[in-house]
Structures are given as C-alpha cells and as structure tokens.
C-alpha cells in the first residue's frame, strides 16, 4: 500500500498527490512514469512522474479527472492509501548539450513538462517555458514553473489571462524574435504535440514529445501502447515515453487513443454514481 502524504486541488479538474514510495523516488528521473491501481477492482493506469523527492521518499503525480479511475483517485485524501504503485517505468529523458530549450506544456501536460524544465534548468540550459490552457481558471502550477525557467509564457485560448493564443503561436513568435532553440520539448494533448512538431519541423528544430497511450503492465508485455514512429511500431512503455516529434505518426496515435472511449464513459458513470452515493450518505 502506498500512502498519500499530500493532496492539492490545482483546479476544478486537476489534482496533485504526493505519494510515499521511497524505492521509486530513489530511482525516478524526469520523463519516467508510474502505473497505479487504486483498489482491487481497479484498472492499471499510467501517470507520468511530475516530481520526486529522494530524501522524503515521495513521488508526485498530477492528474486530470477524466475517467472512472481518476474520479476514484480523487476521492482519496491525505493519509489514504493506493493499493498498487509501480515504477519508475519507461526511459528517462536524456539531455545532452542542450543550451537553449523551449519546454511546452499543454493543459495537464504542463505537469509533465515541469520536471523536464526543472532538470534542464539545473543542468544550466536557458529554459523558456510556454504553457497553454483553455482559460485562466484552468492554469496550474504557474509558480512552480516560474522557479525552473528563465521566461514563462502562460497562454489561454480565450485570452482570459490577458495572453490570448495557442502555444504554437507563442513558440513561432519567439523563434521569429531571434531565439535560437536547439531543442523543443512538447508535452500535452496529441493534437497540440502534433501542431508543435509540424511547426518545429519547418524551422528544423529537434523536438521531443511524450506519449501516454493506454497500457497495462508498462514493462513491454501487453503491446497495447504501440505507436508508429518513423514507420516502425514502438512500445511507448519501454521505448519511450519520449519520442522524436518529427517521426511520430500522430494521426494513428489519435485514433488509437479512442479505443476504450465507450468504456471510459461507462467507468465515469459507475464512479460518479458511487460518489453521489457517498454524498447522499453524509
């Protein structure tokens, strides 16, 4: 069992939890993920590691409440325990000789982009962070991001924070203003990562994206997480989750992400009924 030591509601649909898992915390690196199972009936669901503290022995994940499992996870509080928590899985991100980098986070992807920015910042690279949200109420971890980069640009689709536009628009603007990025890291919804990759391809800037498809074991056993990269099938769990954005077949990844949509809806119904039950019981 893995105890939740801290829980923080970041916005209406996004929650941060810090979980006591010392063995994982000892080995975790940016870019890696964990798989958890809330209870005995639960699904195994992957979450990218948002932060870790080797001394405290904790691993932080940030999740969006989208399906049954995340709804259930969100009912847990500080002191509650998660049944299974396994990792660190996947290949850690490698940053060799990166000097100028743009780290882009779309929505929840910001939480996954954060440890990468943090590590690059620590390694001495100049880090610009661009984060994008639908509106200002959905903005998460702004202060955390500020601390790990040279410049932070928070964009909103509706301009409600005074900065209207998509992350791609900001990125292009920065490139055109003379920023000389040798690497772009883009993490967020598939459509966003696709758009960033198309843009950077035009400018010939190496781009890394983080793929987070459905998977079961996270060790290469099920093959459910397969994606097409450079015409070859890769397993996101063991070959990734970081891939060259210019080689990823995003269109097939987007189609594959819909495989269990119906079940996700059913799961959401089941767990929201359960939660209503709790509410009524009080």
Q: Which residues bind another protein (CB under 8 A)?
A: 23-24, 27, 37, 41-44, 68-69, 83-89, 216-224, 226-228, 233, 238, 252, 255-256, 258-260, 262-264, 266-267, 270
User: By C-beta, is 100 or 228 nearer to another protein?
Assistant: 228
Length of the chain (residues): 282
Residue with Cβ nearer another protein (8 or 249): 249
**What is the residue whose two structure tokens read 């990218």?**
48
Nearer to another protein, 27 or 202 (CB): 27
Closest to another protein by CB, 80 vs 142, is 80
For the chain, the straight-line distance linking the first and the last C-alpha, in angstroms and rounded, comes to: 27
Which residue in this structure is represented by tokens 């040279």?
Answer: 150
Instruction: Identify the CA nearest to 76 among candidates 42, 112, 113, 99.
Output: 42
Task: Output the smallest distance, CB 117 to another protein, in A.
Answer: 24
Work out the number of other CB atoms within 10 angstroms of the CB of residue 208: 24
Nearest CB to another protein, comparing residues 7 and 37: 37
Residue tagged 């040798």 (tokens):
182
C-beta atoms surrounding 106 within 10 Å: 26
Q: In 3D, which of 171, 174, 139, 143 has the Cα closest to residue 158? A: 139
Rounded distance between C-alpha atoms, residue 186 and residue 22, angstroms = 29
Instruction: Quote the least distance from Cβ 227 to another protein, whole Å.
Output: 7
Helix, strand and coil content of the chain, in percent to the nearest 5, comes to 35, 30, 35
């Amino acid at each position: 069992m893995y105890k939740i030591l801290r829980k923080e509601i970041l916005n209406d649909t996004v929650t941060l939890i810090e979980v006591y898992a010392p063995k994982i915390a000892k080995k975790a690196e940016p870019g890696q993920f964990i798989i958890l199972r809330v209870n005995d009936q639960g699904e195994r669901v992957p979450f990218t590691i948002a932060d870790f503290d080797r001394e405290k022995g904790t691993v932080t994940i940030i999740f969006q409440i989208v399906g049954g499992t995340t709804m259930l996870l969100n009912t847990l509080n500080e002191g509650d325990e998660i049944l299974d928590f396994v990792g660190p899985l996947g290949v850690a991100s490698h940053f060799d000789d990166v000097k100028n980098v743009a780290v882009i986070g779309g929505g929840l992807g910001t939480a996954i982009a954060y440890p990468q920015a943090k590590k690059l910042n620590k390694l001495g690279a100049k880090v610009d962070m661009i984060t994008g949200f639908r509106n200002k109420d959905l903005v998460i971890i702004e202060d955390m991001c500020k601390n790990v980069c040279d410049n932070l640009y928070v964009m909103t689709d509706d301009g409600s924070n005074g900065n209207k536009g998509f992350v791609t628009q900001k990125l292009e603007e920065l490139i055109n203003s003379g920023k000389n990025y040798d690497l772009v890291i883009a993490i967020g919804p598939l459509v966003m990562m696709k758009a960033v990759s198309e843009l950077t391809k035009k400018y010939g800037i190496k781009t890394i994206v983080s793929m987070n498809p459905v998977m079961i074991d996270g060790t290469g056993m099920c093959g459910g997480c397969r994606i097409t990269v450079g015409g070859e099938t890769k397993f996101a769990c063991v070959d990734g989750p970081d891939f060259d954005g210019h080689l990823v077949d995003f269109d097939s990844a987007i189609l594959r992400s819909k495989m269990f949509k119906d079940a996700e809806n059913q799961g959401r119904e089941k767990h929201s009924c359960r939660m209503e039950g709790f509410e009524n019981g009080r």
